[in-house]
Amino acid sequence: MEHLLGSADTPVRIAVVGAGPAAFYAIEALLKSPGLHASIDVFNRLPTPFGLVRDGVAPDHQSIKAVTRIYERLAEHPQVRYFGNVTIGRDVQLAELQRCYDQIVLAVGAPGDRQMEIPGEALRGSAPATAFVGWYNGHPDYRDLAVDLTHERVVVVGNGNVAMDVARILVRDVAELAQTDIADHALAALRTSRVREVVVLGRRGPAQAAFTNAEIREFGELHGVDIIVDPADLVLDPLSAAMLDGNRVAAANVRTLHALAERGATGQPRRIVMRFLTSPTEVLGDGGQVCGVRVERNALVPNAAGELTLVGTGAYDTIAAGMVLRSIGYRGVPLPDVPFDARRAVIPNVDGRVTAGVGGAPIAGLYVVGWAKRGPSGVIGTNKPDAIATVASMVADLPQLSCRAAGDRAPAAIEQLLEWRQVTPFSWDDWRKLDAHERERGADVGRPRIKVTRVAEMLDLVGKAHVT
């Protein structure tokens, strides 16, 4: 007799790939689905869970990380198992997951970065903000990133919240950073940093800046830091000025920038210089090392349709700097055997159902949520309605899936496969031990935690051998 998938007799077997916000909101929606019986296995590339909440959110924004308490409760639900330190597409292939699970939810985020595509980008001292953020947050991939803070000026390219985080961390009072969970290696480097000025470049005007008002207001509250805004940059073209009427964030940003411009320099030891309508055209080098950025002044002009477009004015100047961090967006990266929309850098989907290419037919049992689904935009909370929508598709599809061949649906099957592959999964209990260890080390010195930043050390701490 055939049992309906998702019933008490035949719980639906679900694999969630990733353990960031999108993954946890999908798990929450699945567990809350009325009458649905699911057994959920979570696979995460790193031993540590929480994706960008641990590795992206700035260490001086601790309160935002409190959201992980909700995720912890979900991970500890009896229907959920956690397999950290397992990379799908490397340790386990998609086809293998498809044999073991009825439905797979890809929640892999968008860990790549965008390039400026200008000369000099590959020079030493030029890096994506993704790497710098990973470095100060203790992401194991960036543990050994060479970050040279012996220069006085850094240029940050971009006008989003990540650019603002990066600029702030570079000049923030180290005594304040020392009270956060910033990685120890970053704290040590920042203690001896000679960076005195960060120039933030926005290619468009202040009315088009992508940062939230909280981020720019926070600049004004930084101890020992002047915020320099040229009042001439705040003189808006008529279309930008009109835009402020319908955009509360932009209007607030322009107001805050006016207040900062009025305050001007007050003799603080460090400064952030906000430059608008300025694009980098070349990263300049000396002996292979960044020594500056050539920039062009832009103008916003209306096109035939009356929309603002950005044009270079042909007026150039050079900013001397020892480091350039481009913060112009994260980018999805292809997952082996999973369709990828290279233009939008997302996994193609309709309502969260992964399709065989853009405009293709849905692939039975394969779904996507979060940044991998819609691209790298939105705050943590944006991933919740997004995940709920995908889970609605998953639940709606269950009757059709019940006809599928059973495959190897025994919960032990995946554990045997991992053992056979000599992959050492990091369990939720392992994470709890590591978490307690990090918190204890932090508590001794008045910090929320001191992060362990090497995978081998994480495995050692819980008594697991490290297989490379």
Ligand X SMILES: Cc1cc2nc3c(=O)[nH]c(=O)nc-3n(C[C@H](O)[C@H](O)[C@H](O)COP(=O)(O)OP(=O)(O)OC[C@H]3O[C@@H](n4cnc5c(N)ncnc54)[C@H](O)[C@@H]3O)c2cc1C
Segment interacting with ligand X (CB under 6 A) among 105-113, 338-346, 351-359, 446-454:
105-113
Among residues 256 and 327, whose Cβ is nearest to ligand X? 327
Q: How far apart are the first and last CA of the chain?
A: 45
Tell whether residue 87 is a contact of ligand X (CB under 6 A).
Answer: yes
Tell whether residue 112 is a contact of ligand X (CB under 6 A).
Answer: no
* Element containing residue 225 per DSSP (H, E): strand 225-229
- Among 62, 79, 89, 121, the residue binding ligand X under the rule CB under 6 A is 89
Please report how close the Cβ of residue 20 comes to ligand X at its closest, in angstroms: 2
Tell whether residue 126 is a contact of ligand X (CB under 6 A).
Answer: no
The bridge status of strand 126-128 relative to strand 323-326 is parallel
Please report how close the Cβ of residue 356 comes to ligand X at its closest, in angstroms: 20
Segment interacting with ligand X (CB under 6 A) among 147-155, 187-195, 269-277, 370-378:
370-378
- Among 38, 40, 243, 380, the residue binding ligand X under the rule CB under 6 A is 380
Among residues 23 and 171, whose Cβ is nearest to ligand X? 23
- Among 13, 45, 139, 331, the residue binding ligand X under the rule CB under 6 A is 45
Tell whether residue 20 is a contact of ligand X (CB under 6 A).
Answer: yes
Please report how close the Cβ of residue 141 comes to ligand X at its closest, in angstroms: 10
Three-state secondary structure call for residue 289:
strand
Cβ atoms of 372 and 338 within 8 Å: the answer is no
Please report how close the Cβ of residue 280 comes to ligand X at its closest, in angstroms: 20
Three-state secondary structure call for residue 343:
coil
Contacts of 328 (CB under 8 A, 6+ apart): 114, 116, 157, 158
Segment interacting with ligand X (CB under 6 A) among 107-115, 174-182, 194-202, 267-275:
107-115
* Element containing residue 28 per DSSP (H, E): helix 21-32
Q: How far apart are CA 232 and CA 221, in angstroms?
A: 23
Among residues 45 and 204, whose Cβ is nearest to ligand X? 45
Q: How far apart are CA 202 and CA 210, in angstroms?
A: 9
Tell whether residue 371 is a contact of ligand X (CB under 6 A).
Answer: yes
Q: Is 346 exposed, middle or buried (CB count within 10 Å of its CB: 0-12, 13-18, 19+)?
A: buried
Tell whether residue 97 is a contact of ligand X (CB under 6 A).
Answer: no
Three-state secondary structure call for residue 259:
helix
- Among 19, 116, 325, 346, the residue binding ligand X under the rule CB under 6 A is 19
Please report how close the Cβ of residue 449 comes to ligand X at its closest, in angstroms: 17
What long-range pairs does 413-417 form, CB within 8 A, spacing at least 24? Answer: 413/99, 413/100, 414/41, 414/83, 414/92, 414/100, 417/92, 417/96, 417/100
Binding mask 226-265 for ligand X (x = CB under 6 A): ----------------------------------------
Distances in Å between the Cα of 382 and the Cα atoms of 5, 7, 42, 110, 379 are 29, 30, 21, 15, 5
Of the candidates 386, 384, 344, which has an alpha carbon nearest to the alpha carbon of residue 367?
386
Tell whether residue 383 is a contact of ligand X (CB under 6 A).
Answer: yes
Tell me which residue has tokens 């292979």: 288
Tokens of 172: 């923030």
Q: How far apart are CA 161 and CA 377, in angstroms?
A: 11
- Among 46, 127, 222, 243, the residue binding ligand X under the rule CB under 6 A is 46
Tell whether residue 84 is a contact of ligand X (CB under 6 A).
Answer: no
Among residues 116 and 284, whose Cβ is nearest to ligand X? 116
Segment interacting with ligand X (CB under 6 A) among 39-47, 119-127, 148-156, 282-290:
39-47
Segment interacting with ligand X (CB under 6 A) among 1-9, 51-59, 197-205, 345-353:
51-59
The values of phi and psi at residue 210, to 5°, are -90, -10
Q: How many residues of this chain interact with ligand X, rule: CB under 6 A?
A: 35
Three-state secondary structure call for residue 329:
coil
Of the candidates 154, 151, 193, 197, which has an alpha carbon nearest to the alpha carbon of residue 174?
193
Tell whether residue 165 is a contact of ligand X (CB under 6 A).
Answer: yes
Distances in Å between the Cα of 402 and the Cα atoms of 42, 102, 104 are 22, 9, 15
Tell whether residue 108 is a contact of ligand X (CB under 6 A).
Answer: yes
**Tell me, what amino acid is at 157?**
V
Tell whether residue 220 is a contact of ligand X (CB under 6 A).
Answer: no
Q: Using CB under 6 A, which residues numbered 277 to 336 contact ligand X?
A: 330, 335
Segment interacting with ligand X (CB under 6 A) among 86-94, 418-426, 434-442, 446-454:
86-94
Tell whether residue 349 is a contact of ligand X (CB under 6 A).
Answer: no
Cβ atoms of 160 and 211 within 8 Å: the answer is yes
Q: Which residues contribute to the site for ligand X (CB under 6 A)?
A: 17-23, 43-46, 51-52, 56-57, 61, 64, 87-89, 107-109, 133, 162, 165, 330, 335, 370-372, 378-380, 383
